[in-house]
Amino acid sequence: MPATHDRALDALLRRGRLRALEPCRGMDFASNDYLGLANSSALRHAVAAAIDRGVPVGSGGSRLLRGNHAEHEALEAEAAAFFGAETALFFGGGFIANTAIFSTLPGRGDLIVYDALIHASAHEGMRLSKAECVAAAHNDPQAFADAIRSWRGNGGTGTIWLAVESLYSMDGDRAPLDDLIAIADANDAVLVIDEAHATGVFGVGGRGLGAHLEGRANVISLHTCGKALGVMGALVLAPSTLRDFLVNRARSFIYATAPSPLIAAAVRAALDIVQREPERRTTLHARIAFAAQTLQAQTRHAPSGSQIQPIIIGSDTRAVALAAALRQRDFDIRAIRPPTVPEGTARLRLTITLNTSEDELAAVIVALADAEAELSP
């Protein structure tokens, strides 16, 4: 093995940034399984029923070869109807879907203005894009407008693409979507909304924070299926022309083996559960409110207002130590460090799901306060 890799890993270890795979154990305050569907009997029964009716496990090839199954097409039709978009396209995961969007749709001479805290998958797509890419300050509509004005002033004439998450994965805060769509409308721009952490949780019927914008000619949304929906994969909702362009030009779609038809059947079932069981959302929002009250009473940390609660620590090593202390108490919570989050903002990412009770949620917050006091400098 090259010595450079050893040195790089040693450097990460010294800085408190070495990653390692850890088993799932203890109470779940780390997953994105917000509605508790991943291990639910409802999804297990849906998968068993799909197997009984002959749905295959593997697709056998890419969608453009023999891998296009009736389950994929049924899912896409049902998802488009559920979310209120013209069309949907199913990908194997959110990372490759975002990579496809940003590497394929914006072209040479175009501009992508992206929120500074947007997900790594969007960055990967932009890295492969021929468009110019400019960061805008987080959740600052004026920064987006200023970037557009500057680019136009310097002779930019192409299409403008605005890229945001509706609910940010590491901070749990919401994008100002109404302000951003107004900017998009005023500049003939396309707004790309990553709904990964809002799908199933927020919006009318769990349709996301941008549900009222779905179906517009200048809106693309990404709904991942491995978080609140409890399965895996991702759905890109877009006008038919953009869907067709992805099918014809997106390398991560064309050259990838199609997602399992069995997984497509499971996602169909998950969307049905989201529609039929609104009480899951109601219970989750009650837990979010309870967590906010308990955090304010027991700790110095401000509530995020969502199911994603960052506990900002600052120091990488201290964040790792706090996470370890909580896992020793049987609470599964993980440390998030740069480059996933900005320098100096290492944190614990506490997620609120239906996999733990209100009593357990209260207990983890008390344990957090105790652990912070014990590890005070």
Ramachandran region, residue 200 (left: φ > 0; alpha: ψ -120 to 50; beta: rest): left
- Domain final position from 275, 303, 334: 275
pLDDT tops 80 at residue 189: yes
Average pLDDT over residues 88-110: 97
Cis peptide before 339 (omega within 30 of 0): yes
Q: Is residue 210 part of a domain?
A: yes
Q: Which domain holds residue 346?
A: 21-39+278-374
Q: Is residue 3 part of a domain?
A: no
For residue 279, CA distances in Å to 36, 274, 289, 306 come to 12, 9, 15, 17
Buried-exposed string 214-248: b where 16+ CB fall within 10 A, e elsewhere? bebebbbbbbbbbbbbbbbbbbbbbbeebbeebee
Residues 32 and 63 in one domain: no
What is the spatial distance between Cα 173 and Cα 164, in angstroms, rounded to a whole number? Answer: 12
pLDDT tops 70 at residue 1: no
Q: For the segment 137-181, what is each residue's pLDDT rounded down to a tens digit? A: 999 999 999 999 999 999 999 999 999 999 999 999 999 999 999
Residues 248 and 314 in one domain: no
What is the spatial distance between Cα 44 and Cα 41, in angstroms, rounded to a whole number? Answer: 5
What is the spatial distance between Cα 146 and Cα 133, in angstroms, rounded to a whole number? Answer: 14
Residues 140 and 260 in one domain: yes
Which pLDDT does position 221 carry in this prediction?
A: 98
What is the spatial distance between Cα 259 and Cα 66, in angstroms, rounded to a whole number? Answer: 12
Positions annotated as catalytic residues are 32, 119, 165, 169, 194, 197, 227
What CATH number corresponds to the domain at position 96? 3.40.640.10
Residues 204 and 159 in one domain: yes
pLDDT tops 70 at residue 377: no
pLDDT tops 80 at residue 350: yes
Q: Is residue 45 part of a domain?
A: no
Counting DSSP H helices and E strands in the chain, the numbers are 13, 12
pTM summary value: 0.94
Label residue 198 by pLDDT band (50, 70, 90). very high
What is the spatial distance between Cα 28 and Cα 43, in angstroms, rounded to a whole number? Answer: 19
pLDDT tops 80 at residue 376: no
pLDDT tops 70 at residue 316: yes
Q: How many separate domains does the chain show?
A: 2
Percentage of residues of the chain with pLDDT beyond 90: 93
Q: Say if strands 234-238 and 308-314 run parallel, antiparallel, or are unpaired.
A: unpaired
- The helix/strand/coil state of 253 is helix
Which pLDDT does position 93 carry in this prediction?
A: 96
Closest CA to 326 of 374, 256, 282, 272: 374
Name the average pLDDT for the chain. 96
Q: For the segment 251-278, what is each residue's pLDDT rounded down to a tens digit? A: 999 999 999 999 999 999 999 999 999 9
- Domain final position from 275, 298, 315: 275
Residues 235 and 105 in one domain: yes
Residues 194 and 207 in one domain: yes
What CATH number corresponds to the domain at position 287? 3.90.1150.10
